Amino acid sequence: MLNKDTFVHFLAETGALRFGDFITKSGRETPYFINTGEFRTGESLSKLASFYADAFVEHFKGKAENLFGPAYKGIPLCAATAMKLSDLHHLNLSFTYNRKEAKDHGEGGTLVGYTYREKTNVVIIEDVITAGTSVNETMQLLKGLNTVNVIGLLISVDRRERLDSGKSALQTVQENYGIETRSIIDINDIISFLAKEENRQKIDAPKDILDRVQHYRSKWGVV
């Protein structure tokens, strides 16, 4: 069973979740920032993949046979998650990732790993999504393959933040492509973690961080 408090603590401990003063790509002032590029050791990637594997089992077990990892951050994520699904859950899924540019020698093409020789149900593994641009690019790539059936998207953290459309990035992806979108945690789980004083002390969080995150959520969040 996925322990969300444990995952929030893990993100903060590795520096992937930071609290302070930041500016998002959209220009919003935010009191928290998520950067999964901080997972840069074998130990941290292994733990991260374990959480992804647990979330996959909770939401997609029995529904998909393949993990797709968009270049670049999705590549180690999908490979490591496939390993953890095998090691921890005895599920032997194939995995696939893409090159940014097609290879013009050897086997050629843009796909590496399993190349969808037969009809395959696929879950996309991503780190975080902001506006959904990378997911749109991935869907355009996979929609061109008649043996691929994308059934879901799994990310680490859903900020549940309102875009110009009034909907969140995950809501938009789900509506545009008719796929199941899931996250290991969302902003509400981060707030629940911060609501406990012992948790704030564990990660040495700023004293006013709970109020600031709640305020940001109320201003920019979706239901």
Q: Are 20 and 31 in contact (CB under 8 A)?
A: yes
Q: Is 105 a catalytic residue?
A: yes
Tens digits of pLDDT across the chain (223 residues)? 679 999 999 999 999 999 999 998 778 999 999 988 899 999 999 999 999 999 999 999 999 999 999 998 999 999 999 999 999 999 999 999 998 776 554 455 789 999 999 999 999 999 988 777 889 999 999 988 999 999 999 999 999 999 988 999 999 999 999 999 999 999 999 999 999 999 999 999 999 999 999 999 999 999 8
Distant-in-sequence, close-in-space partners of 43: CB < 8 Å, separation ≥ 6: none
Question: 4-220, which class in CATH?
Answer: alpha beta
Distant-in-sequence, close-in-space partners of 12: CB < 8 Å, separation ≥ 6: 18, 19, 203, 205
Q: Residue ranges per domain, the chain?
A: 4-220
Q: In whole angstroms, give the CA distance from residue 73 to residue 38.
A: 11
Token couple for 152: 């879901």
The residue to which tokens 């961080």 are assigned: 209
**Which one is catalytic: 61, 63, 103, 119?**
103
Task: Give pTM, 2 decimals.
Answer: 0.93
Which 8-state DSSP code applies to residue 221? B
**Which one is catalytic: 25, 90, 100, 105?**
105
Q: Is 9 a catalytic residue?
A: no
